[in-house]
Amino acid sequence: AQSVTQPDIHITVSEGASLELRCNYSYGATPYLFWYVQSPGQGLQLLLKYFSGDTLVQGIKGFEAEFKRSQSSFNLRKPSVHWSDAAEYFCAVAETGTYKYIFGTGTRLKVLA
Amino acid sequence: DTAVSQTPKYLVTQMGNDKSIKCEQNLGHDTMYWYKQDSKKFLKIMFSYNNKELIINETVPNRFSPKSPDKAHLNLHINSLELGDSAVYFCASSLTDSKDEAFFGQGTRLTVV
């Protein structure tokens, strides 16, 4: 069965520091992979997605993610974090022809001034 | 001009009551979803509809009944509310199926007292 693991429940970084959020998936075929961000009291906003092609994907707000098939990973990165990046981040996996997204348990990011 | 809108945003009700949450998308998408987010932020699929047809019913109690009058609307009716139904319910839509990114509404925070 498909599954997504986000090993880090909470991460705290200082403003201006680099960030990496981990995501591992369990899936047989080539997955469709997504990163979403949820600010308090808000819905989920798509940061970026990977379907095929270049394994380094650029997203909004300066985020990028790298797909590594050998490690079944899709880690999210940002070179310099801003205080406004504090939020909950979700990794998700899906398959074409299905009608559901499997989400990880989320990583809460705290940014120190 | 909100892409996926849900009403109400907050819902407080007593055990045993019946309530509905409405969702509309103006993106012209074929597929709509209901997700439940629990107190630990875990997102779980409840239902998905494609062109008004039920595709996924993810072992949700019969007290939950979705209805899709047209492909732009997916409402959720809940009978005999229980304390455990307290959660945030998200509506989402995608262009065709889950190979496309999902667009989420702002969520409905349901509190059963």
Q: Convert the pLDDT of each residue in B32-80 to its tens digit.
A: 999 999 999 999 999 999 999 999 999 889 999 999 999 999 999 999 9
Residue B1 confidence (pLDDT): 67
What residue type is assigned to position A58 of the chain?
Q
Q: Give whole-number Cα distances, B46 to A17, A48, A80, B24, B87, in Å.
A: 38, 24, 37, 17, 13
**pLDDT greater than 90 at residue A2:** no
How close is the nearest chain B Cα to the Cα of A32, in Å?
6
Taking the C-alpha atoms of residue B8 and residue A2, their distance in angstroms, rounded to an integer, is 32
Q: Which of B32, B35, B41, B56 to mutate to test the interface with A (most CBs of A within 10 A)?
A: B41
Could you read off the pLDDT of B9-26 as tens digits, one per residue?
999 999 999 999 999 999
Residue B38 confidence (pLDDT): 94
How close is the nearest chain B Cα to the Cα of A17, in Å?
26
B101 and A49 in contact by Cβ < 8 A?
yes
Host H or E run for residue B54 = strand B53-57
Could you read off the pLDDT of A29-46 as tens digits, one per residue?
778 999 999 998 889 999
- In chain B, the residue whose alpha carbon lies closest to the alpha carbon of A30 is B99
Mean pLDDT of all residues in A73-94: 97
How close is the nearest chain A Cα to the Cα of B48, in Å?
6
β partners of residue A54: none
Residue A91 confidence (pLDDT): 98
Which pair of tokens denotes residue B11? 């819902």
Choose among B102, B68, B84: nearest CA to B36: B84
Taking the C-alpha atoms of residue B78 and residue B64, their distance in angstroms, rounded to an integer, is 5
**pLDDT greater than 90 at residue B113:** yes
